[in-house]
Amino acid sequence: MNSASFPSRWVAHGAALCCAVVWGVTFVSTKVLLDIFAPAEILFLRFLLGMIALWCVRPQRLHVEGARRHLLFAGAGLCGVTLYFLLENMALQYTLASNVGVLVAISPLFTALLARLLLGERLRLGFFIGFVFALAGIVCINVNSGAVLRLNPLGDLLAVLAALTWAFYSILTRRIGQMGYDTTLATRRIFGWGLLLMLPVLPFAGVDTDATRLLLPTAAGNLIFLGLGASALCFVLWNFALSRLGPVTVSQYIYLIPLVTVGASLAVLGEPVTLLAVVGMALILAGLLISEGRFRR
């Protein structure tokens, strides 16, 4: 039995599922905000708002002793906040969104390999079979949207690097969780490091000092959603799930994000769901179940 109790494990699964659902619909808010802010501005503002929210919830100070532990938090902030989102945004500038969607989805594979190398976790054959099923489903969904996967070396490499940095974030956060720190306080510290390491990039990222844009209802509403929901709440839930289930299990919920996106497109935009999309969603669900060992021979 895992160190987490049975009810706690199901709560952790629910937390990871909640993150996949919220992150699956954030593309709508980000797309709206890109008409008002530069990508780096959106990134900085959402995590600044998220850190403020976490400070309001838990204003206590997190005591971290030892340079090695400080480096763990700095590394998590660098990988999960600064590098991942900057690399993803840069990738979108050089390659197709469909390429980025597929390549970022290989993050669970990187996470599993790093967990094996750095944490000594065992990997089952079912994980790799499930990965193939889920990736095939994601490709189906991207093709269904009318996108054609074409090789764009620079952009595709940036997308792969984004997937790799998220894998490192998962491993580092797992190590932080094993040290017994409060999840909310630890997430706030990670946000702080991510924002600090983002500062050198902002002067070169097209930042505008016009603060009146924040008063626009559209801007304020979407930033609140991204800051409070997709950042503060979801990162706390994701880090909680990582501490209870481990990076290999939790990372597999990333497969569900494209599936949620299809559902959001149907509900919000009224886009039709074709047979290919249904096949893609079925493959993703099958991949997740196989990876989790829910399907027996």
pLDDT at 294: 52
Name the pLDDT band for 173 (thresholds 50, 70, 90): very high
**Alpha-carbon Rg for the chain in angstroms:** 19
Asked if the model's pLDDT at residue 167 lies above 70, the reply is: yes
pLDDT tens-digit readout, 242-297: 988 888 889 888 888 877 766 666 665 555 667 777 787 788 888 877 876 654 44
Give the Cα separation of 17 and 207 in Å (integer).
Answer: 34
Considering 41-45, 106-110, 165-169, the range whose residues carry the highest mean pLDDT is 165-169
Question: Mean pLDDT score of the chain, rounded to an integer?
Answer: 83
pLDDT digits (tens, 9 = 90+) for 110-158: 888 888 888 778 877 888 888 888 888 877 776 765 555 566 678 788 8
Cβ neighbours of residue 125 under 8 Å, at least 6 residues apart?
none
Q: What is the mean pLDDT of residues 55-66?
A: 91
- Residue whose pair of structure tokens reads 């999960």 in the numeric block: 80
3-state SS, residue 289: helix
CA 170 from centroid of its chain's CA atoms: 10
Q: Which two tokens mark 178? A: 């094993």
69, 179 Cβ separation under 8 angstroms: yes
What is the pLDDT, as a whole number, of residue 5? Answer: 52
pTM of the model: 0.82
